[in-house]
Structure formats: C-alpha cells, structure tokens
Amino acid sequence: MSVTDTPVREAVDVEASGAEAAPRRGARSRLSREQAILLAGIPLLVAVTLGVWVWWRLTADLDSIEARQLAWGTLGSLTWRHIEITLVTTALVLVTAIPLGVLLTRRGFDRAAPLVVGVANTGQAAPAIGLVVLFAIWLGFNFWTAVLAFTLYGVLPVLRNTIVGLQGVDRTLVEAGRGMGMSAVAVLFRIELPLAVPVIMAGVRTALVLVVGVASFATFINAGGLGALIQTGITLFRTSVLVSGGLLIALLALLVDWAGRVLETVARPKGL
C-alpha cells in the first residue's frame, strides 16, 4: 500500500464512523423527543379530560343523592384522602424495599433473595380486597390498616427491580472502584446505585400506579378515598357517581405515572 493511500483510508474510516454515529445520535434525539412528547402529553390529556368532566358536573341535572356525592367539598376530601394513602404507602414501600433489595445483593445475604422475593410475590398474588379485609379484621378498620396492606402489595416491584438493577451493574466497575481504594459503602453509593437508578425507578413507577389503583379498596374498611364513589354508585345504582369515581381514579393514576416518569428522568445519571 502506498503512502498516499493512508490519508484516504483514514478519511474513509472517519466518514464511516461519522455515518455510524449519526444514526446513534438520531436514535438518542428521537428517544428524547418521544420522552418529551410523553411527558408533555400526559398532563395535557389529564387537564383536557378533567376539564370536560368539570363542565359536565357544572351542567348536569343531578338528583339529590348524586349532587351530595359529587359535591365539590366531598370530592376534595375524598381525593385528598386517596392521595394521602398513596403518598404514605409509597414512602413506606421505598424505605422498606430499597434497603432490603440492597441487603439481598450483598455477600452472605444473596442466598435469601429468592425466598424474600417469593414471599413478596405471594403478597401481591393475593387479591387486594382480600388482603385489606384480612388486615382490617386483625388490626381494625382504619387508615393505617389500609396503608399496611397496600405497602405489602406494592413492595414487590421496587424490591425486585432493586435486586435486578444492582445485579446488572458491571462487576468490573465495582472491582475497579475497590481497586482505587473505595470502601464497600462508597462503591455502593457512587457506582452501583447510580447505575441501577433507571431500573429501580421503573419499579417505583410501577408501584405508584399499583398503589393508586388498590387504594380504591380503602373505602371498604372506612379509610376513605375515591373508592367511596364507586361503592356508592354500585350500591345506589347511580351510574354518574360510579363513572365519576372511576374516571377520577384513572386520572390520578395517570398523574402519578407522569410524576414517576419525571423522577425517573431526573434521577437518571448523565450518559445513560
């Protein structure tokens, strides 16, 4: 090969690498656009749907029972109680499942991971309403009984994703950190957890949506929530109340899913 061929080959290689990098950059930009559309579209959809429902509520000809159940004060208190149940349950799920998942990936405790995940699977496999009623019979019909039951129901996605996320971290990175003199705790917080954040946050988002849905059953043990509208609609044969309760819960679940996506995007380390 002549000397003059070398610059040509280098130019071809550069052009080829640029051609390969262009689709990758395009894929990343398309993904970013899709995420932006999704993050902007969900609250817009919720706002439009809620606006249509509010317009219907203001113009609908309701009887005395429907008007009492769909009064603005009643709706506000039921919605706030539903949000309270969701927030408290999610906080308990996070402080329970993430540390437990971290512990079950440490040497000496990893053998117990299948057993613990199996127990969590059993808790989620049980019907939510049955779990709530059993806990109510045992602990009483109140807010904290519902929170405890829903916490057991929502632990599995976060626990499983924490274990999977940490186990998926490249072990050479962990060994490199230890080789640089970092302690096990430093490796965990500076290497393992940041790299596992996307997987963990996906589990948190799943748990959030699950908790919003099952929180509807809190009304059966006098814990309140928007499920009261569904119960009243079924009991008194008021379709408008039933549909309103289901719609508001669905909109709240969409908002919670959107909030989880935002947190997942913010918490994702740069470059991932």
Q: What is the pLDDT of residue 5?
A: 46
The token pair at 150 is 């829903």
Using pLDDT thresholds of 50, 70 and 90, give the confidence band for residue 109. confident
Q: What is the pLDDT of residue 13?
A: 45
The token pair at 183 is 């302690």
Please provide the size of the chain in residues. Answer: 272
Residue 172 has pLDDT above 50, yes or no: yes
Residue with tokens 């402080």: 95
Residue with tokens 């950059």: 25
Q: What is the pLDDT of residue 12?
A: 36
Residue 3 has pLDDT above 50, yes or no: no
Using pLDDT thresholds of 50, 70 and 90, give the confidence band for residue 106. confident
Q: What is the pLDDT of residue 19?
A: 40
Backbone torsion region of residue 237, taken as left when φ is above 0, otherwise alpha when ψ lies between -120 and 50, otherwise beta: left
Helix and strand element counts for the chain (H, E): 11, 0
The token pair at 179 is 């080789």
Residue 16 has pLDDT above 60, yes or no: no
162-170 average pLDDT score? 89
Residue 24 has pLDDT above 90, yes or no: no
Q: What is the pLDDT of residue 184?
A: 83
How much is the mean pLDDT over the chain?
A: 83
Residue 28 has pLDDT above 60, yes or no: no
Using pLDDT thresholds of 50, 70 and 90, give the confidence band for residue 270. low
Per-residue pLDDT tens for 183-220? 888 888 888 888 898 899 989 999 999 999 999 999 99
Give me the helix-helix angle, 227-235 and 72-103, nearest 10°.
Answer: 120
CA dihedral 162, 167, 173, 174 (to 10 degrees): 80
Half-sphere exposure of 159 (CA within 13 A, CB side): 25
Q: What is the pLDDT of residue 33?
A: 73
Residue 272 has pLDDT above 60, yes or no: no
120/133 Cα distance (integer angstroms): 18
Q: What is the pLDDT of residue 271?
A: 57
pLDDT higher for 95 or 119?
A: 95
Per-residue pLDDT tens for 223-269? 989 999 999 999 999 999 999 999 999 999 999 989 888 888 777 76
164-171 average pLDDT score? 88
Per-residue pLDDT tens for 115-159? 888 877 776 777 788 888 888 998 889 999 999 999 988 888 899
23/39 Cα distance (integer angstroms): 24
Residue 36 has pLDDT above 60, yes or no: yes
Q: What is the pLDDT of residue 30?
A: 41
Residue 9 has pLDDT above 60, yes or no: no
Q: What is the pLDDT of residue 10?
A: 44
